[in-house]
A and B are shown apart, each in its own frame.
Chain A
């Protein structure tokens, strides 16, 4: 789960990582009130999870109340690379002398947390990593040992930070690592980590990803929301406990098991179609789950045809068929469905569907055949 900048900063503040003080706002009035409280100059920052928002007009400095109002009016509701800005974060403007970069990531390859520090902050770190990898200091942390003070000093010296800030930078790395572990993050990134003219160190940005599987231990984090990133279908699916990812095409997809669904998207694409979604109905799905999933898929207005690709292991094909029949009864879909049922109880499932004689439902025997058929139908009905 990705957090917005201000949510990340509030998390940092709880763990003693210095951040500029600020307030979130969802309306122009709230933004102006926040600016008045914080004082001028202050920054009005669009809260969307996208890089480069500053260049697109999503970050502006206000020197007085009128400017704060003007910027809030301009930024709230603006579209940044397809995301609508629902919230701004108002914070005291910072004086910047140097821009560093710091992060802690869950390194799957090394199976350990990786801490990185560079003096080349304020820019795209992937570009720094590609062109001048020697300018990023790395350290894998033994998770059983944890991050020690000497690790922080070592990284600071290796990255070549200014001598007078070696200690405070090291301390911030320790606090970022503590945030990472305590809040169970998979990413904590600060770009830029700034040095002010007074030689203090502050996190001017915050990018935090929380481990969704660990949210049960962090109920306060589970409440955090990103209105800009919420797609209506994805929200609906989440409330129903379905694994759904919205895509750009017009062919609704339902399958069981993440790998098979990914594979189905690929096969549909190879057949010349464009999937509208990824939906994994999961293992052992009952009829109600299938019905509920059909509702989510069809709530996307772009969908012109739907493909069911089921290989039953613990999922029983007769349950899937029952779910689809119930969905037709309740929702009365108008788009065609192509259904491929294989595996556990496939014969029963196919018979149920044949007996129900649903309008516009086409049975196919193979995954490849089903993909070709749905691509044909999706084109015809759009």
Chain B
């Protein structure tokens, strides 16, 4: 098994006719993901290398049975596209777009939560990869192979770094979820850790957090109460100065809130092994699975 994306994923990309949208959608298809449709308003009836393009998510669902959306449109249109996918009944919406206004993000989050029929992952995330099954997003799949380590991370390249060290140590992955670097992620650490706990294929969970917010602290509380599988943590941003946004919109220490030290301590307090470098994370994982 795996979580969120697999052989049953039927993907529809919003923004498929843009250069990035085309490139990554086709790369996902090459990996083996079932890509069934694309959406670009006004370009319905066209196709992108054989993938049919529709004017709306509603048509993509009706005609092609799309159940997963990948959002690749520019920031000012992204929340609208997310909400259209939700309205069309898409179960899983993966938003890659970076730079969505905070209020747009908040509105999309609240509506999705209120209606309770879709899961949003991202925005500002690299997507989800279940090695050997499906890849939705921009994660370079060649570095990962199937295995028993579930990874959830707020950062893309950091995930590749950690994943690569794990792979060099002989580990594979059940699923890698990038939850994104924005202040209001649609899916948080707790959601992913709960899914990994329930996934029989996952034997170890690696979570890569960073400064800002309290998502890691909430994860620590959840792990302490509900998680039986071993968890290895990593937190980026120990040397980040307060009050500065470190690249990701959500990566900011506000006053005394959201520091790397507090997050690492919260995780360690519930028995999570926290590596201080990506290399240490792999070493801890090896010890736990040996």
Using a CB–CB distance below 8 Å, which chain A residues touch chain B? Answer: 106, 108-109, 111-112, 126, 142-144, 181, 184, 186, 211-214, 216-217, 243, 245, 247, 255-263, 265-270, 275, 278, 280, 283-284, 311-315, 342-344, 366-368
Contact = CB atoms under 8 A, between A and B. Distances in A.
B210 A283 contact: no
B140 A313 contact: yes
Contacts, number: 168
Contact of B246 (A262, A283, A315): A262
B109 to A, nearest CB: 6
Interface string B178-195: 000101100000000000
* Closest 8 pairs between A and B when the two form their complex, measured CB to CB: A259-B155, A258-B247, A257-B157, A259-B158, A214-B101, A260-B157, A262-B236, A280-B247
A258 B181 contact: yes
A269 B279 contact: no
Interface of B: 20, 75-76, 99-104, 106-107, 109-111, 114, 126, 138-140, 143, 153-161, 164, 181, 183-184, 208, 210-214, 218, 234, 236-241, 244-251, 255-256, 260, 276-279
A23 to B, nearest CB: 28
A259 B155 CA distance: 5
B214 to A, nearest CB: 5
Given A109-B213, A112-B106, A263-B158, A314 B111 contact: no
Contacts of A245: 241, 244-246
B236 A259 contact: yes
Contacts of A111: 106, 109-110, 184
Contact of A144 (B104, B111, B250): B111
Contact of B278 (A255, A263, A278, A315): A263
Contacts of A247: 239, 241
Given A108-B250, A258-B251, A267 B277 contact: yes
Given A143-B106, A247-B241, A343-B160, A368 B236 contact: no
B184 to A, nearest CB: 5
A263 B181 CA distance: 14
A184 to B, nearest CB: 5
